[in-house]
Chains A and B, each alone.
Chain A
């Protein structure tokens, strides 16, 4: 445990990638195989299930610190991270690091077992650990319990370090750690060093992600080497058929087969040894719907026939990664695409469609297509090099995304909440309202979106100072704010929604700029928002 906590401390101490990787290397060189597997799991978002309610954690921490619960809660709002708050607040004891000899896997096993204990025993266990660990170990221990283990080490850095330490190529490591494996059941050898053949059938490939275009089209060279296609706003996924099993993996590394039975059914029609990269899209009466429709399918454990009928989906195929049992990612995109074309024609299924594919005669065609994208419900264009191999992760050069310009509207800041992580203790998470005329002709501000990005650190500080001085009411971490500041909010799309107060759901809202020049009476209304539906 102490070596893992010290790894986190080391990576925390530096903003430099090299030093983070060096600390990871040191850890992976010396840790036991069991601890290595758990570390890989944690850095790739595979944490043990939360075994204890956070409300219990808060209560216990306040009790051990001998402070009222409300004071703990206030401190938590300010610190912005529960694991950190507990680590800071529980008192330091003099018999530090009694738990020194426990390994990372020991601690995780204890944490997993917590769920079988009575509340009284859980409390006793936590008091014991909290009092016997030093600050960083305590912080990491809390992170293991509360989950969301996002601390300074990305999956990419970890992959790089594992490649350094094992001598295995980093793209192969990236592939090995994909998919569904259980850290408590797999050995380091089976996961990384020499994976068993049968375990590989469940693994998706690492996704190739495009960079936002930051060069002029003309500078991409000969346009005949490129194609463009529409970029769709759905769920990027890989459909895998191997050994008569069909799986659907999301880009986030989740198995989503059960949420999309109609796509799995279609997958049964495909030959074994096939992996398709595509986008799951809502598809109703021959039209591609909005992401909002798709949301009705997500997060459901059991999708009924009725849900499928009401909100049908298709897989829009972009690429073919495995064909006739072989990994064809190193073939050119043109080659892969040809094979994909044939496959989609052969399968001939209503739930499988192929992405459009446009040769480019001159770059102006691409500009025109871009301007038409929104009317097609697409979120922009993808521009791809025909000769490109299918790479690992977000890489510049061969795949570019060119999104449509966002929709924008001027809204009033109405509520604010403190941020988390690096923005802890600053009010950086905002709620925005638009005007609605009430029956009595008076107007009110109706919440339409929340946004927490788009301002510079300097602007955030100014808005933060404004909020602290213009708070109307406090509700725990949230404050209602005197309506006075107007911001231009950008978003990708808009759809009617009965779940939102304003009647509309907007996609990816963010702050475009602070309209210092506008008063709240000049902000837009819900009617203006509605008009954007038809743009």
Chain B
């Protein structure tokens, strides 16, 4: 039988013994935040606990909050329950949360990926009895190439645009994907310009992490100076008047959803690059095996299909609902 260290209730993921929530979606007294994406770090909690690298991000997003930073592996105990944060490799400052009580160990993965992206602290495997995993890309159709290959594709795209004297636009989520691109693209090709939403986060992150120079697009930026350079903008700017001012440009998107030919065509984007901050199918299955967990709780994504598969191959797999997956394809923060 499962010893319920964590329960999914209307407020969030709850640890009754410690009276503490993780990634709560309604205001609560005390919450541990896995990472800075808006659906995981909500406004209105009385006390926030998160990794040091995520503290400035949460403050930037939510303003003045009562927040405390923790180091990787630093153990903190609440009413006998030991908590610690371990790198999830999803975005900078993203953690898995380890919960230990009377020898029983649970790990909440948050969002995660296995590949070292060169900017987030690489994923650390934590063995446990029960593993709560995301499964955003939990069907075998998803399989990522290694990052160098994808960055090379984007560099090539950038070069092609430069040759035609066009502006290369890449739509990428402002926290995570944007910095991953900035840290890995070949800056010998040209300069990287950013939308203000991206640049504001860059500035926050630069206070504790080296990031190559980027240029914020302002009212004064002339479209001529963008030609041959690369612009990183949030997906919501697609089709906006802000973007239209940059003609001639070619649009692209860097996301795991770009695996599907249909997804790119639906968005009327010229180029799609398959680059995700989540685990693909094989890494998902591998991680579950390596945690040596017997019980797997599937949230966020193709959870019905994935848990059915896990049950078939001998795990106790369950489904729990979170509001994270409601928009499945609407959220672009992969």
Once the chains bind, are A71 and B139 in contact (CB under 8 Å)?
A: yes
Q: Mark A200-214, 1 if CB is under 8 A from B, else 0.
A: 000000000000000
Interface size in chain A (residues, C-beta < 8 A): 36
Once the chains bind, are B305 and A71 in contact (CB under 8 Å)?
A: yes
What residues of chain B lie closer than 8 Å to A70, measured between beta carbons?
Answer: 308
Residue of B nearest to A91 (CB): B143
Once the chains bind, are B140 and A425 in contact (CB under 8 Å)?
A: no
Q: Does A294 contact B (CB under 8 A)?
A: no
- Among B40-48, B62-70, B93-101, B263-271, the stretch that binds chain A is B263-271
Partner of B309, one of A13, A68, A457: A68
What residues of chain A lie closer than 8 Å to B326, measured between beta carbons?
Answer: 465, 468-469
Once the chains bind, are B330 and A79 in contact (CB under 8 Å)?
A: no
Q: Mark A61-73, 1 if CB is under 8 A from B, else 0.
A: 0000101101110
B308 CB to nearest chain A CB (Å): 8
- Among B53-61, B205-213, B254-262, the stretch that binds chain A is B254-262
Once the chains bind, are A422 and B266 in contact (CB under 8 Å)?
A: yes
- Alpha-carbon gap, A419 to B261, bound state (A): 13
- Alpha-carbon gap, A92 to B328, bound state (A): 27
- Alpha-carbon gap, A70 to B304, bound state (A): 13
Once the chains bind, are B265 and A422 in contact (CB under 8 Å)?
A: yes
Q: Mark B306-334, 1 if CB is under 8 A from A, else 0.
A: 00110010000000000000111110000
Residue of A nearest to B268 (CB): A15
- Alpha-carbon gap, A421 to B308, bound state (A): 26
Residue of B nearest to A74 (CB): B305
Interface size in chain B (residues, C-beta < 8 A): 26
- Alpha-carbon gap, A78 to B266, bound state (A): 15
Q: Does A303 contact B (CB under 8 A)?
A: no
Partner of B262, one of A92, A422, A461: A422
Once the chains bind, are A78 and B302 in contact (CB under 8 Å)?
A: yes
What residues of chain A lie closer than 8 Å to B143, measured between beta carbons?
Answer: 88, 92
B239 CB to nearest chain A CB (Å): 11
- Alpha-carbon gap, A85 to B281, bound state (A): 14
Once the chains bind, are A75 and B140 in contact (CB under 8 Å)?
A: yes
Q: Does A12 contact B (CB under 8 A)?
A: yes
Once the chains bind, are B263 and A424 in contact (CB under 8 Å)?
A: yes
What residues of chain A lie closer than 8 Å to B142, measured between beta carbons?
Answer: 88
Q: Does A332 contact B (CB under 8 A)?
A: no
Once the chains bind, are A424 and B140 in contact (CB under 8 Å)?
A: no
- B139, B142, B143, B326: most-surrounded residue (chain A CB, <10 A): B139
Q: Does B141 contact A (CB under 8 A)?
A: yes
Q: Is the interface of B mostly helix, strand, loop or mixed?
A: loop
A532 CB to nearest chain B CB (Å): 34
Residue of A nearest to B266 (CB): A422
- Alpha-carbon gap, A373 to B93, bound state (A): 68
Once the chains bind, are A468 and B305 in contact (CB under 8 Å)?
A: no
Residue of B nearest to A86 (CB): B141
Once the chains bind, are B270 and A15 in contact (CB under 8 Å)?
A: yes
Q: Does A89 contact B (CB under 8 A)?
A: yes
Partner of B271, one of A13, A79, A88, A465: A13
Residue of A nearest to B142 (CB): A88
Once the chains bind, are A14 and B270 in contact (CB under 8 Å)?
A: yes
B100 CB to nearest chain A CB (Å): 34
Once the chains bind, are B265 and A75 in contact (CB under 8 Å)?
A: no
- Alpha-carbon gap, A12 to B302, bound state (A): 27
Please judge, given known A-B contacts A65-B140, A85-B141, whether A423 and B327 are in contact too, CB under 8 Å: no
Once the chains bind, are A89 and B328 in contact (CB under 8 Å)?
A: no
Q: Does A442 contact B (CB under 8 A)?
A: no
Once the chains bind, are A81 and B262 in contact (CB under 8 Å)?
A: yes
Complex interface residues of chain A between 450 and 474 (CB less than 8 A to chain B):
457, 461, 464-465, 468-469
Residue of B nearest to A16 (CB): B270
Once the chains bind, are B262 and A423 in contact (CB under 8 Å)?
A: yes
B311 CB to nearest chain A CB (Å): 11
- B140, B269, B312, B329: most-surrounded residue (chain A CB, <10 A): B140
- A16, A67, A75: most-surrounded residue (chain B CB, <10 A): A75
Q: Mark A81-102, 1 if CB is under 8 A from B, else 0.
A: 1001100110010000000000
Residue of B nearest to A66 (CB): B140
Complex interface residues of chain B between 139 and 154 (CB less than 8 A to chain A):
139-143
Once the chains bind, are B329 and A425 in contact (CB under 8 Å)?
A: yes
Partner of A75, one of B141, B270, B271, B327: B141
- Alpha-carbon gap, A156 to B271, bound state (A): 23
Q: Does A374 contact B (CB under 8 A)?
A: no
Q: Does A420 contact B (CB under 8 A)?
A: yes
- Alpha-carbon gap, A211 to B231, bound state (A): 40
- Alpha-carbon gap, A84 to B260, bound state (A): 8
Q: Mark A417-454, 1 if CB is under 8 A from B, else 0.
A: 00111111110000000000000000000000000000
What residues of chain A lie closer than 8 Å to B261, measured between beta carbons?
Answer: 12, 81, 84, 421
Please judge, given known A-B contacts A420-B262, A422-B265, whether A79 and B270 are in contact too, CB under 8 Å: no
Once the chains bind, are B141 and A89 in contact (CB under 8 Å)?
A: yes
- Alpha-carbon gap, A16 to B269, bound state (A): 11
Once the chains bind, are B141 and A88 in contact (CB under 8 Å)?
A: yes
Once the chains bind, are A74 and B266 in contact (CB under 8 Å)?
A: no
Complex interface residues of chain A between 83 and 126 (CB less than 8 A to chain B):
84-85, 88-89, 92
What residues of chain B lie closer than 8 Å to A461, measured between beta carbons?
Answer: 327, 329-330
Complex interface residues of chain B between 278 and 292 (CB less than 8 A to chain A):
none
Q: Does A80 contact B (CB under 8 A)?
A: yes
What residues of chain A lie closer than 8 Å to B260, measured between beta carbons?
Answer: 79-80, 84, 424-425
Please judge, given known A-B contacts A15-B268, A79-B141, A85-B141, whether A425 and B330 are in contact too, CB under 8 Å: no
Partner of A424, one of B262, B302, B305, B327: B262
Once the chains bind, are A80 and B262 in contact (CB under 8 Å)?
A: yes
Complex interface residues of chain A between 137 and 193 (CB less than 8 A to chain B):
none
The 8 closest A-B pairs by CB, nearest first: A424-B262, A422-B265, A88-B141, A422-B266, A422-B262, A75-B139, A75-B141, A74-B305
12 contacts between A and B (CB under 8 A): A65-B140, A71-B309, A72-B140, A88-B141, A92-B143, A420-B262, A421-B262, A425-B263, A461-B327, A461-B329, A468-B326, A468-B328
Known contacts A15-B269, A75-B140, A419-B262, then 15 further A-B pairs from the complex at CB < 8 Å, ordered by chain A residue: A14-B270, A16-B270, A71-B305, A75-B141, A421-B265, A422-B263, A423-B262, A424-B260, A425-B262, A426-B329, A464-B329, A465-B326, A465-B328, A468-B326, A469-B326
